[in-house]
Amino acid sequence: MVKALSSEDIARRVARDIPNGAYVNLGAYVNLGIGMPMLVADYPVPGREFVLHSENGLLGMGPAPAAGEEDMDLINAGKQAVTILPGGSYFHHADSFAMIRGGHIDISILGAYQVAANGDLANWALPGPKPPAVGGAMDLVAGARQVWVMLATHVAKDGAHKIVERCDLPLTGLNCVHRVYSDLAVIDITPKGLVVTDMVAGLSAEELEAKTGAPLAFAESCRALLSGRAA
Amino acid sequence: MVKALSSEDIARRVARDIPNGAYVNLGAYVNLGIGMPMLVADYPVPGREFVLHSENGLLGMGPAPAAGEEDMDLINAGKQAVTILPGGSYFHHADSFAMIRGGHIDISILGAYQVAANGDLANWALPGPKPPAVGGAMDLVAGARQVWVMLATHVAKDGAHKIVERCDLPLTGLNCVHRVYSDLAVIDITPKGLVVTDMVAGLSAEELEAKTGAPLAFAESCRALLSGRAA
Amino acid sequence: MIDKRVSTLADMVADCPDLRDGAIVLIGGFGDAGVPEKLIETICELGLRNLTVVSNNAGSGDYGLASLLKAGCVGKMVCSFPRSAGSIIFEELYAAGKIELEIVPQGTLAERIRAGGAGIPAFYTATGFGTPLAQGKETREFDGRHYVMERAIRADVALIHARTADRWGNLTYPKTARNFNPIMAMAAATTLAEVRRFVDNVAPEEVVTPGIFVTRMVEIGER
Amino acid sequence: MIDKRVSTLADMVADCPDLRDGAIVLIGGFGDAGVPEKLIETICELGLRNLTVVSNNAGSGDYGLASLLKAGCVGKMVCSFPRSAGSIIFEELYAAGKIELEIVPQGTLAERIRAGGAGIPAFYTATGFGTPLAQGKETREFDGRHYVMERAIRADVALIHARTADRWGNLTYPKTARNFNPIMAMAAATTLAEVRRFVDNVAPEEVVTPGIFVTRMVEIGER
């Protein structure tokens, strides 16, 4: 029986994977996109401090305030009230995107409509009459050192693949995604294609391949997991 | 008998000519170059407030401090200790030159080796073995709304013209000077060439022309002055 | 004496020749934070037409920028994210073909405004390369990476919201309400500010927007 | 826990792989204000060779940057004004043909560094058009005005001087000693700071350089 991860489970896993910086005690600087990535802020990792960047001009973003404590001068990229942690700072939009575009953000965590095996991402425009809206997504994928994508479900509700050979929705950026976290697996996007590094228990390689629109390779660790289950 | 102006006289005259801004009580923002232009700071005009910009990151530059009160964290573009007036602010170099390049400085006041009748300026490099040094002069002439040049003497010590048809020294900028203040005259640089708007008493038009390396026209006000003296 | 303070929003707005039909207007704020709402609503009453408004969002509800849209003053919006919750008025105008829309990636929008203020006519960014938002734009390779050339935005008027100001126009901002306000203040011929509180003197090391970028301002009180 | 504080300058410098022969090094300061003198003097002892140093001036006397020049560590200077009073060591090296010099207009230098930090590979400026400093550079017309294309400067290491810092690396600067320090902090792979005083927490609205731009720092005491 396959037990898919909840969005909260995925967020917890992502938080756990955020590394420390290149130097001891340097910390990582992480931007959380609107929507599901925001959940990552709710899962601090004991003994590890990282700094959350909010594109609207905030470093050191903390969790949502208690009800009644909201300050609408202090919001995140999703326009929700947040808090600021000790060590935080405010700055204007050009400075905020200088951090992003200049390669100072270690990891950008984003949602997606489609991710391609070559790292292309589509996460800003769907067909329809609504006006398009892009926000900072294109800047983030072009500027952050790593881009991680979170998918609440590995496939869309209608069964369509979200992880595909080539995106057919309007692109956010080319060759920009490094890793995908879904409810079923963790997949690295490498120059050689998709490499599964982790899977939920009970899922077979064939099942995951069926739910993925591009060829999968399985990392050593993952193969051990699979064969362990098979044994 | 011609009485040439002292550098202090020229500075006093320049200060008096700094206009108010476009709106009532808006003030003018003025950058003073290294050397003689710095004297302008010593001649406040009663009832008129303007703001001095120092390229190293200071608005609201005040006069030199009293002896013993120097703070070497608070210096001007010439690396001399200065003071800050109420209403002043500090900012970094990119912001400082954004003010200059972005057209926010109303007047840049500079020294010069040569000024041409077409507004070209040469004020940064002389022949010789010394390493060249440009500082902010090229940014100032490209960015300020007006460029005024101060000449301590209308001609060089060796009699060479400083105001010329074409500069032969390395240029600081093209078509950038709007007005020249010398010890003998005030000259506007217009699309039609040099127009004298003021002269020291006792000087004839012919004498000024002889000391100037390009054709001069004389403004209405100046012609009145000349004919008044002649009468 | 330099004194950029004006008593009322109506007076400030009336004495601003750059506020005219067809003007390009920068409006600060991100979501509802740092939007000069009172100033916008005062400008609504001028009945201007065919403004190009540059602002990150396209307003929400029927206040602030949305009221300017509703009044029919805006011919074109330049923004990164017009699809905020509650941006109904914009969506109706857009669906009816009554307003032009230019979508710009948020960081490119910020940098284009900053470039306008800093006298940089154009710059290159990797943002948007290979996407529909780079269509028709010049691209160029530097050191093996592809970039899009983007032009500066300069405006006739900037409308901004600040926390404190002194008579010289030195400004501070409240928390993330800073957002686009400081760079917009740099990029317009005339910058008008609504300010929560006038003070005698903003400390020189705490000034965020130096007075050189501010034309006129009005005290609107704490919210 | 994030903690970028190091006990001694020697430790900080020893643990910095980007400080190596041939490195590009940004050094803050304008004249003597805001120059990280103690940090430079510590680096002198590493005996590095062929550094490219980007700094507004070329040092004066025999302290700070001049000591690095004197020790023969620098192969090239990129600066706007190497001819300050007392810049004797640089002038001697230059006259002897022992050092390369790239002169850059001061605002272009600042903007090239800021561009490096902001991920802008190139931009256009009117500064220098038609002068010897634009020779060999690409030019282009926008809206009837001529501009020079300038490339970003990115460095291996930035050496900066600050007034206060907290453990996250948030910095403030003293008065005009701010100058090039904040933009240089943005434009290097590793940013090392000498700081007059460590504090528990720099107030978030008074931070000039957010900690994201700072790698390591040492407290050097008030001067």
pLDDT category at B26 given cuts 50, 70, 90 is confident
Tokens describing residue D91: 């002038």
AA letter at A98: A
Residue whose structure tokens are 């400081």: C182
User: Could you read off the pLDDT of C160-191 as tens digits, one per residue?
Assistant: 999 999 999 999 999 999 999 999 999 999 99
Tokens describing residue B105: 């400085």
User: Higher confidence at residue C60 or residue D150?
Assistant: D150
Do chain A and C touch: 3 or more Cβ pairs under 8 angstroms? yes
> How much is the average pLDDT of B171-197?
97
Nearest neighbour of D120 by CB, restricted to C121, C124, C175 = C124
CA distance A200 to C14: 65
Share of chain C above pLDDT 90, in %: 92
Residue A28: domain span = 7-225
Tokens describing residue D94: 């230059």
Q: How many separate domains does chain B show?
A: 1
Q: CB neighbours (10 Å) of residue A46? A: 4
> How much is the average pLDDT of C108-129?
98
Position C157 pLDDT exceeds 60: yes
Residues of C in contact with D142 (CB under 8 A): 121-122, 151
Contact C30/C184 with Cβ under 8 angstroms? no
Contact D201/D172 with Cβ under 8 angstroms? no
CB contact under 8 A, C105 and A133: no
Whether D84 and chain B come into contact, CB under 8 Å, resolves to yes
> How much is the average pLDDT of A19-33?
83
Distances (CA, A) of B79 to D28, D29, D57, D69, D171: 15, 11, 11, 21, 24
CB contact under 8 A, D186 and A104: yes
> How much is the average pLDDT of A73-98?
96
Q: What is the pLDDT of residue A230?
A: 43
pLDDT category at B21 given cuts 50, 70, 90 is low
CA distance A27 to A48: 8
Complex-level ipTM beyond the 0.95 threshold: yes
Q: What is the pLDDT of residue B22?
A: 64
Euclidean distance between the first and the last CA atom of chain D, given in angstroms as a whole number:
30
Average pLDDT taken over every residue of chain A: 93
> How much is the average pLDDT of A206-231?
84
Position B230 pLDDT exceeds 50: no
Contact A104/A30 with Cβ under 8 angstroms? no
Give C219's strand partners.
Answer: C195
Nearest neighbour of A26 by CB, restricted to D4, D114, D210 = D4
The answer to whether position B150 is within a domain reads yes
Task: Read off φ and ψ for residue A151, nearest 5 degrees.
Answer: -120, 120
| In chain C, domain spans | 5-121+154-219
CA angle D195, B76, B44 (to 5 degrees): 140
CB contact under 8 A, B49 and C1: yes
Q: What is the pLDDT of residue C65?
A: 93
Q: What is the pLDDT of residue A22?
A: 64
Interface probe for A, chosen from C55, C87, C104, C127 (most Cβ of A below 10 Å), is C127
Position C38 pLDDT exceeds 70: yes
Give C102's strand partners.
Answer: C78
User: Could you read off the pLDDT of A86-132 as tens digits, one per residue?
Assistant: 999 999 999 999 999 999 999 999 999 999 999 999 999 998 888 88
Position B229 pLDDT exceeds 60: no
Q: What is the pLDDT of residue B210?
A: 97
Whether D34 and chain B come into contact, CB under 8 Å, resolves to yes
Q: What is the pLDDT of residue A228?
A: 62
User: Could you read off the pLDDT of D63-101 as tens digits, one per residue?
Assistant: 889 999 999 999 999 999 998 777 899 999 999 999 999
Q: What is the pLDDT of residue D83?
A: 82
Please state which of the ranges B113-127, C82-96, C201-215, D36-50 shows the lowest mean pLDDT.
Answer: C82-96
Domain D5-121+154-219 of CATH type 3.30.10.20: no
pLDDT category at A11 given cuts 50, 70, 90 is very high
> How much is the average pLDDT of C67-93?
92
All chains having 3 or more CB pairs closer than 8 angstroms to chain B: C, D
Position A152 pLDDT exceeds 90: yes
Sheet of A51-54, strand order? A83-90, A58-62, A51-54, A29-32, A107-110, A146-150, A179-181, A185-190, A193-199, A216-218
Q: In CATH, what number is assigned to the domain containing residue B188?
A: 3.40.1080.10
> How much is the average pLDDT of C84-104?
92
Whether B89 and chain C come into contact, CB under 8 Å, resolves to yes
One-character DSSP codes across B42-104: G-PPTT---EEEETTTEEEEEPPPPTT---TTSB-TTS-B-EEEEEEEE--HHHHHHHHHTT-
The answer to whether position A143 is within a domain reads yes
CB contact under 8 A, D108 and B90: no
User: Could you read off the pLDDT of D181-223 as tens digits, one per residue?
Assistant: 999 999 999 999 999 999 999 999 999 999 999 999 999 998 7
The answer to whether position B123 is within a domain reads yes
> Is the Cα torsion angle D75, D81, D86, D88 positive or negative in sign?
positive
Please state which of the ranges A192-206, A217-231, C25-39, C137-151 shows the lowest mean pLDDT.
Answer: A217-231
The answer to whether position A111 is within a domain reads yes
